[in-house]
Amino acid sequence: MYYVFKYLGVLQSGDGDPLVPVNHRIEIAWSRYTNLKRILTSPGLQRRLRIRLLKASMISPLLCGCESWKITAYVHRKLNETVSKMLSRITGQSIAEDARTPT
């Protein structure tokens, strides 16, 4: 077990684990998704507007502070996976279909 603390509003690990702030940001993005899920999955809302809401409400908080992260292939994959899952839930398409369709 390691010590986790908040420094300048960013969650940090006492042992320097670079995944702690990334995981924290992913949790924040999913929390935002949960709060807006009913609106984002509403059939009356245009797909284009749903994607704009995704960018503004989930992707911005997800990437906040990413300038200081060490972006490894694993971190890149985790971030891409998170955005892909949210996008597929919002559009109603599978992750593979969303990957083929430009947004």
Band of pLDDT at residue 67, cut at 50, 70 and 90: confident
The amino acid occupying position 75 is V
Percent of the chain with pLDDT over 90: 36
* pLDDT at residue 41 greater than cutoff 90: no
* pLDDT at residue 49 greater than cutoff 70: yes
**Residues forming a β-bridge with 5:** 12
The amino acid occupying position 71 is I
pLDDT of residue 30: 95
Give the mean model confidence (pLDDT) for residues 33-61: 91
Of residues 26 and 43, the one with the higher pLDDT is 26
Average pLDDT, the chain: 83
